[in-house]
Amino acid sequence: MPGVVVIGAGQAGASVVAKLRAEGFEGKITLIGEEPVPPYQRPPLSKKYLLGEMALERLFLRPERFYPEADIDLRLNTAVTGIDRAAKEVVMGDERLGYEHLVLATGSRPRRLPAAIGGDLGGVHVVRTLADVDAMAPGFVAGARVLIVGGGYIGLEAAAVAASRGMQVVLVEMADRILQRVAARETSDYFRALHTRHGVDIREGIGLERLLGAGQVSGARLSDGSDLMVDMVIVGVGITPDTALAEAAGLAIDNGIAVDAMGRTSDPAIWAVGDCASFPHEGGRLRLESVPNAIDMGDCVAGNIMGKEVAYVPRPWFWSDQYDVKLQIAGLNTGYDRIVTRSTGDEDAVSFWYFKGAQLLAVDAMNDPRAYMVGKRLIDAGKTADPDLVGDAGVDLKGLLKS
């Protein structure tokens, strides 16, 4: 009997299959992944794993024995080449696999530099998969010169690891400031100062014109006319949802695979979860690129496959580790018109609170877990806080939860 087939063995796909079994689903479950290893955590790849502080097996979301013990058919190193919606079959080359429910957890793919400007040279890397990190790891040696293209969180995390290894790091960001797309100026200023203290050369308002080298990257020409000698380039200029299979199958696309509040695509037998899916939110559509979203949406869709019919309600939170600073973000800052700064007296511990009018939207907390916890609880409950009280270091934050 056809059961549930999940395409994509990342965090979202792994969450779907585990939740199905936990909820008592007794049918056939197949999880298909392109990579040769079982589902693993991505955030530690560019940090502890790259630094050699985490073994491969510790990356795995679950022990390898979990899948056979849970009667989940885990197919690794397998590419899905098409979806036959009429026959309700997944196509894998010459093989076809029937489904009753199909879940697309295809994730996202990193944007790469065009070959016309040297993006195909050796030594040019992106940070997304285990193979990506394994390929760049040998170049992370003291004294090596690395250019990082992009001042978002991926680029900054890579810069932190490189600087910690004693590498010479230059980071270029075409926008006026790092983190411009995702954070307030205050957060940008905080991380610029942090990286500068660790020797990273951050150049804002400057783009990459082209990479130089014959076969292997050896230099870079920047938009201000300057040239750099480099041994390695790391590209962190964002990701795009992987919608290729869905598009070829004729499913609705809207900044990702469009799903309804339950996670269904335009074909009621097909669902989508995680980075690749856009869902209804506050009169528009939202697509979240985060581990918590992958887990929560995966759990929700698994329940809906079993007939629960529960709408997915996101509770966004994110994190980033750079040097000895842990950034924790609660909420979505879209549309903010005021930032309130809360200081702790410690140079590295501070939080920035985003308000739209009187409504609290989001919190960026650096080495301040209490601010993050209080902000997240307020936001999840749909509550707000008095900006004047938030900015007063003498006010106990926990008291805000009682108001």
The C-alpha angle with vertex 104 and arms to 55 and 106, in degrees rounded to 5, equals 45
Tokens, residue 207: 């783009």
Q: Are residues 13 and 92 in the same domain?
A: yes
pLDDT digits (tens, 9 = 90+) for 188-222: 999 999 999 999 999 999 999 999 999 999 999 99
In-domain check, residue 318: no
pLDDT digits (tens, 9 = 90+) for 23-76: 999 999 999 999 999 999 999 998 889 888 899 999 999 999 999 999 999 999
Average pLDDT over residues 144-150: 98
Average pLDDT over residues 291-303: 97
In-domain check, residue 310: no
Average pLDDT over residues 4-26: 97
Q: Are residues 226 and 126 in the same domain?
A: yes
Boundary residue ending a domain (277, 305, 333): 305
Rounded Cα distance, 337 and 270, in Å: 39
Q: Are residues 372 and 392 in the same domain?
A: yes
The C-alpha R_g of the chain, in whole angstroms, comes to 22
In-domain check, residue 315: no
Rounded Cα distance, 96 and 84, in Å: 9
Average pLDDT over residues 271-289: 95
Task: Provide the whole-model pTM.
Answer: 0.94
pLDDT level of residue 401 (50, 70, 90 thresholds)? confident
Output the pLDDT for position 1: 65
Q: Are residues 210 and 266 in the same domain?
A: no
Boundary residue ending a domain (217, 235, 253): 235
Q: Are residues 126 and 230 in the same domain?
A: yes
276 with 106: CB under 8 angstroms?
A: yes
Alpha-carbon dihedral angle through residues 195, 200, 205, 210, given to the nearest 10 degrees: -140
Backbone dihedral angles phi then psi of residue 196, each to the nearest 5 degrees: -60, -40
320 - beta bridge partners? 327
Angle between helices 11-22 and 291-305 (to 10 degrees): 40
pLDDT level of residue 165 (50, 70, 90 thresholds)? very high
In-domain check, residue 316: no
pLDDT level of residue 403 (50, 70, 90 thresholds)? low
Output the pLDDT for position 107: 96
Domain extent, residue 355, equals 324-402
| CATH, residue 199 | 3.50.50.60
Output the pLDDT for position 346: 81
Lowest-pLDDT choice from 195-204, 219-228, 342-351, 394-403: 394-403
In-domain check, residue 311: no
Q: Are residues 120 and 226 in the same domain?
A: yes
Q: Are residues 223 and 370 in the same domain?
A: no
SS3 of the chain: CCEEEEECCCHHHHHHHHHHHHCCCCCCEEEECCCCCCCECCHHHHCCCCCCCCCHHHHECCCCCHHHHCCEEEECCCCCCEEECCCCEEEECCEEEEEEEEEECCCEEECCCCHHHCCCCECEEECCCHHHHHHHHHHCCCCCEEEEECCCHHHHHHHHHHHHCCCEEEEEECCCCCCCCCCCHHHHHHHHHHHHHCCCEEEECCCEEEEECCCECCEEEECCCCEEECCEEEECCCEEECCHHHHHCCCCECCCEECCCCCECCCCCEEECHHHEEEEECCEEECCCCHHHHHHHHHHHHHHHCCCCCCCCCCCEEEEEECCEEEEEEECCCCCCEEEEEECCCCCCEEEEEEECCEEEEEEEECCHHHHHHHHHHHHCCCCCCHHHHCCCCCCHHHHHHC
Output the pLDDT for position 23: 94
Q: Are residues 270 and 252 in the same domain?
A: yes
Backbone dihedral angles phi then psi of residue 155, each to the nearest 5 degrees: -65, -40
Distance between first and last Cα of the chain: 55
Between 346 and 189, residue with greater pLDDT: 189
Of all residues in the chain, the percent with pLDDT exceeding 90 is: 93
Output the pLDDT for position 46: 85
Rounded Cα distance, 225 and 316, in Å: 41
Letter string b/e over residues 361-372, b meaning 16 or more CB atoms within 10 A of that residue's CB: bbbbbbbbeebb
Split into its structural domains, the chain has a count of: 3
In-domain check, residue 347: yes
pLDDT digits (tens, 9 = 90+) for 236-279: 999 999 999 999 999 999 999 999 999 999 999 999 999 999 99
In-domain check, residue 319: no
Boundary residue ending a domain (235, 250, 274): 235
Rounded Cα distance, 161 and 200, in Å: 11
| CATH, residue 381 | 3.30.390.30
Q: Are residues 193 and 279 in the same domain?
A: no
Q: Are residues 94 and 147 in the same domain?
A: no
In-domain check, residue 160: yes
pLDDT digits (tens, 9 = 90+) for 82-141: 999 999 999 999 999 999 999 999 999 999 999 999 999 999 999 999 999 999 999 999
Q: Are residues 118 and 105 in the same domain?
A: no
| Strand 359-366 relative to strand 350-356, pairing | antiparallel
Output the pLDDT for position 64: 94
Q: Are residues 120 and 187 in the same domain?
A: yes
Model confidence at 169: pLDDT above 90:
yes
